[in-house]
Chains A and B, each alone.
Chain A
Amino acid sequence: METVRVERATRASRVFAVFALLGLAALIAMPWWSDDAGNMRLVGEMAYYLALAQLWNLLAGYAGLVSVGQQAYVGLGGYTLFYLTGVWDMNVYLAMAIAGPFAGLISIPVSFAVFRLRGAYFAVGTWVVSEVFLLFASLIAVLGAGSGLSLTPSILREISPERDTRDIILYLMSLAISVFVFGVVYLLLRSRHGMALTAIRDSERASASLGVNTFRTKFIIYIATAACTGLIGALIFLQKLRISPEAGFSINDWTVVVIFMVVIGGIGTLEGPFIGMLIFIVLRELLADYGKYYLILLGVIAIGIMLKAPYGIWGWIIQRFDLQLFPVGRRLALAPTEEPAASVPKI
Chain B
Amino acid sequence: MTWVNIIVQGALLGGFYALFAIGLSMSFGIMRLVNIAHGDLIVLSAYVALVATWYTGFDPFLSLVIVLPVMFALGYLLQRGLLNQTLSGGLLPPLLVTFGISIIIQNALLEGFGAQDYRLQEGAVETASLQAGGFYVGVYPLLIFAVAVACIAALQLLFYRTRLGRAFRAVSDDADTAELMGIDNRKLYALAFAIAMIFTALAGVFFGIRTIFAPSSGPIRLILAFEAVIIGGLGSMWGTLIGGIVLGVAQAVGAALDPTWQILAGHLAFLAILIIRPSGLFPRTRD
Contacts and interface: CB of A to CB of B under 8 A. Distances in A.
Interface in B85-110: 85-86, 89, 91-97, 99-101, 103-104, 107-108, 110
B270 interface: yes
Interface in A112-138: 112-114, 116-117, 119-121, 123-125, 127-129, 131-132, 135-136
Interface of B is mostly: helix
Interface string A288-299: 000111011011
Contacts of A123: 34, 36, 95
B267 A128 contact: yes
B264 interface: yes
B274 A117 contact: yes
A300 B111 contact: no
B96 A296 contact: no
A259 B271 contact: no
Contacts, number: 116
A74 interface: no
A316 to B, nearest CB: 16
B82 A303 contact: yes
Interface in A302-316: 302-303, 306-307, 310
Contacts of A307: 82, 85-86, 93, 97
B230 A121 contact: yes
B275 interface: yes
B89 A310 contact: yes
Nearest to A307: B85
A175 interface: no
Contacts of A125: 274
A18 B275 CA distance: 49
A299 B103 contact: yes
Interface in B157-196: none
Contacts of A232: none
B34 to A, nearest CB: 3
B111 A112 contact: no
B275 A113 contact: yes
Contact of B93 (A112, A259, A295, A306): A306
Contacts of B111: 291-293, 296
B270 to A, nearest CB: 6
Interface of A: 60, 64, 66, 68, 112-114, 116-117, 119-121, 123-125, 127-129, 131-132, 135-136, 139, 251, 256, 259, 263, 267, 291-293, 295-296, 298-300, 302-303, 306-307, 310
19 contacts: A119-B34, A119-B95, A120-B36, A120-B95, A123-B34, A124-B226, A128-B270, A129-B271, A135-B263, A139-B264, A256-B103, A292-B110, A292-B111, A293-B107, A298-B103, A299-B107, A300-B104, A303-B101, A307-B97
Given A123-B36, A129-B271, A135-B264, 5 more contacts: A123-B95, A293-B111, A295-B103, A302-B96, A306-B96
